[in-house]
Amino acid sequence: MKTRRHFLKTVGTVALGSMILPSLVSARIKIKNPGIQLYTVRAEMLADAHGTLKKLADLGIKQIESARSAKGNYYGLTAKEMKQACKDLGMTLRSGHVGVDAKWQQTMEEAAESGQEYLICSSMPSSGQTLDNYKRTADIFNKNGEECRKLNLKFGYHNHDYEFDKVDGQILYDVLMDNTDPKFVYMELDLGWVIASGQDPFHYFSKYPGRFPLWHLKDMNLQKKESTEFGKGGLDIAKILQHQGESGLKYLFIEQEEYAKNPIESMKYNMDYLERIRA
């Protein structure tokens, strides 16, 4: 997400030519119930949570992932109110972005109350681009995952680009992957930031098969490191979607931080794009 970016890379993306250059795909693609990360409509949710959810439902969106805001994890609504608001519109609050902090126990209890399935740490809980910090964080995440399981929640982590820094020949994200227990820690792969960092998501699907049940799907202007509507940036959205099986994908959430006009129009454009390539 734009406000949580760190250590942006300016080189390396061109090495992924076959990945980032959009191609024509003859086969239609199965896309089940695409969702939205509500950070996409953050200002709108803070101004009118119910009205904004209604606009998203009208676009055919069924799956919702919330995010922390100035009004809490549910944009001024209680966990129960958020659950009911989504249910009334035929949507499901599936996941939520939160912080692992002093309010962690309350965060878990509210997430369980909301009925959501996944609880996702949205950024590294401690600073330090070192192997030791990532190993310590992995230990913390394993503990978080065990705690979440007791409340019938699945704990996960959402990457940006800085996790793909290399230290002593090791990619920090790989350190996190290698030291977290797949039984307790699920990964939400932000595909835009993986590619913007110069990495290949297909490599990760192959190296860690089935470990990415959640995606953030976005297109990006790779020169500006800014998100854009599907088909306008450097990611091959159709090609990425052909690799859902290797990833272990269960739910994808569209996320966009910058817009041609406004977030609702951008989401309509994105949903129409997915409809055009859907099987």
- Residue 8: pLDDT above 70? no
Burial of 130 (0-12, 13-18, 19+ CB in 10 A): middle
Mean pLDDT of 65-88: 97
Q: How large is the C-alpha radius of gyration of the chain?
A: 18
Q: Given the structure tokens 């129960």, which residue do they identify?
A: 80
Joined tokens for residue 279: 């099987």
Please tell me the distance from the alpha carbon of residue 208 to that of residue 185, in angstroms, as a whole number.
13
Joined tokens for residue 154: 């699945």
Map residue 132 onto helix, strand or coil: helix
Give the distance, in angstroms, between the CA of residue 31 and the centroid of all CA atoms in the same chain.
16
Q: Which residues contact 12 (CB under 8 A, 6 or more apart)?
A: 197, 198
Identify the DSSP state of 225: T
What's the fold here for domain 30-277? Answer: TIM Barrel (3.20.20)
Identify the DSSP state of 162: G
- Residue 14: pLDDT above 80? no
- Residue 27: pLDDT above 70? no
pLDDT tens digits, 129-171: 999 999 999 999 999 999 999 999 999 999 999 999 999 999 9
pLDDT tens digits, 188-230: 999 999 999 999 999 999 999 999 999 999 999 999 999 999 9
Please tell me the distance from the alpha carbon of residue 133 to that of residue 58, in angstroms, as a whole number.
44
Burial of 152 (0-12, 13-18, 19+ CB in 10 A): exposed
Could you give the angle at the alpha carbon of 221 between the alpha carbons of 217 and 224, nearest 5°?
130
Mean pLDDT of 248-252: 97
Mean pLDDT of the chain: 91
The pLDDT > 90 percentage for the chain reads 88
